Amino acid sequence: MGFQCGIVGLPNVGKSTLFNALTKTAAAQAANYPFCTIEPNTGEVGVPDPRLSAIAKVAGSKEIIPTRITFVDIAGLVRGASKGEGLGNQFLANIREVDAIAHVLRCFVDDDITHVEGTIDPIADAETVETELMIADMESLERRLPPLKKKATGGDKDAKAVIPIMEAALAVLQEGKPVRVLKLDDAEERKILTGLNLLTSKPVLYVCNVEEASADKGNALSDKVKAKAEAEGAVAVVISAAIEAEISQLPRDEQAEFLETIGLEEPGLDRLIRAGYELLGLITYFTAGPKETRAWTITSGTKAPGAAGVIHSDFERGFIRAQTIAYDDYVTLGGETAAKEAGKARDEGKEYVVKDGDVLLFKFNT
């Protein structure tokens, strides 16, 4: 199950520097001029989770395999992108493919790095990008509605179901709001909305790129972004892309010492990756044994057979039951055998909703 988080923003806000640090490569060319990233670069990143090593220690595992999330570095957007300005059409096409958006905002002042708008204002930058996405969504809906209404007049049931959702989304956009604020209670309606693949329906994480001195607590500019995120029910993460780029080049054993000297407990990228993971509504379950301890990604609310299917489709088709041990019980008691003896290993059936941190062993028919 692949989950993609697109890194977006105006040119020269630090997107490619951040992507390079995330993936610990120089795959994306970071340079001080607009559109240095033309083709979207992708990189898979392990989701930091200290529970993995704790489980592996108890299980005596030879290998640890984290769950992963894919970050996509997308070409910088400029005002007028919805009309094809800059690399707008390509930007919009690439962003449609991701599950969520990490919106990088420049929250630092540096006269040596040009700003495409000529002034440092992260709120205005966010609004520029959001406006372009909303315009693109409005044009998409306005183009798609007329032929759909014709089909509905002819008795097409699918068209009749989709039209009210499209009209509700269009009404929200015409009020100057992104589609993600549209609240739908019905599961089928939410499924229809997702199928429309609208740019502003995707969840957004604001990434405040600050200077080194503000990497621990942020600054006045990032405070404004945090306030905006809070008002929207969104999340904002403070990070210094330049520092993260330095950290990513250090050996693992030297990273902690470097972080301590600048007042950080962990790399900002760890917080960013976790925030992106949570933004997508994902949770982790584990499998453990002498060979490996492994983390698996599922959507919150997934039932046991669906979780088994992430490992292999045969596991889902032939699902019988899942032996389930909560993470705390597994680690505290000392593994599977001890958990069984203490009555903490449960056999769950097809209706069991997997919880974050469950250590699972699936029984299935071949």
What is the tens place of the pLDDT at every residue in 37-72? 445 578 888 888 899 999 999 999 999 999 888 888
Instruction: Provide the percentage of residues in the chain whose pLDDT is more than 90.
Output: 47
Same domain for 15 and 156?
yes
Same domain for 243 and 329?
no
Same domain for 312 and 164?
no
By the 10 Å C-beta count (0-12 exposed, 13-18 middle, 19+ buried), 321 is classed as: middle
Same domain for 52 and 140?
yes
> What is the rounded end-to-end Cα distance, in angstroms, of the chain?
22
Query: Does 109 count as an annotated binding residue?
Result: no
What is the tens place of the pLDDT at every residue in 134-193? 988 998 899 999 999 999 988 889 899 999 999 999 999 999 999 998 988 888 999 999
Of 222, 247, 279, the domain-final residue: 279
Query: Does 334 count as an annotated binding residue?
Result: no
The CATH number given to whatever domain includes residue 323 is: 3.10.20.30
Query: Does 17 count as an annotated binding residue?
Result: yes
The Cα–Cα gap between 82 and 89 comes to: 7
Same domain for 330 and 188?
no
Query: Does 226 count as an annotated binding residue?
Result: no
Residue 313 domain boundaries:
301-364
Q: What is the pTM of this model?
A: 0.79
**Residue 201 located in a structural domain:** yes
Query: Does 363 count as an annotated binding residue?
Result: no
Give the number of domains in the chain: 2
**Residue 294 located in a structural domain:** no
Helices 241-248 and 15-23, axial angle in degrees (round to 10): 30
Amino acid of residue 126: A
**Residue 287 located in a structural domain:** no
- Computed on alpha carbons and rounded to an integer, the radius of gyration of the chain in Å comes to 23
Same domain for 187 and 305?
no
Of 245, 279, 313, the domain-final residue: 279
Considering only residues 122 and 273, tell me which one the structure prediction assigns the higher pLDDT: 122
Count of other CB atoms within 10 angstroms of residue 274: 16
Query: Does 14 count as an annotated binding residue?
Result: yes
Q: Does residue 86 carry a pLDDT above 50?
A: no
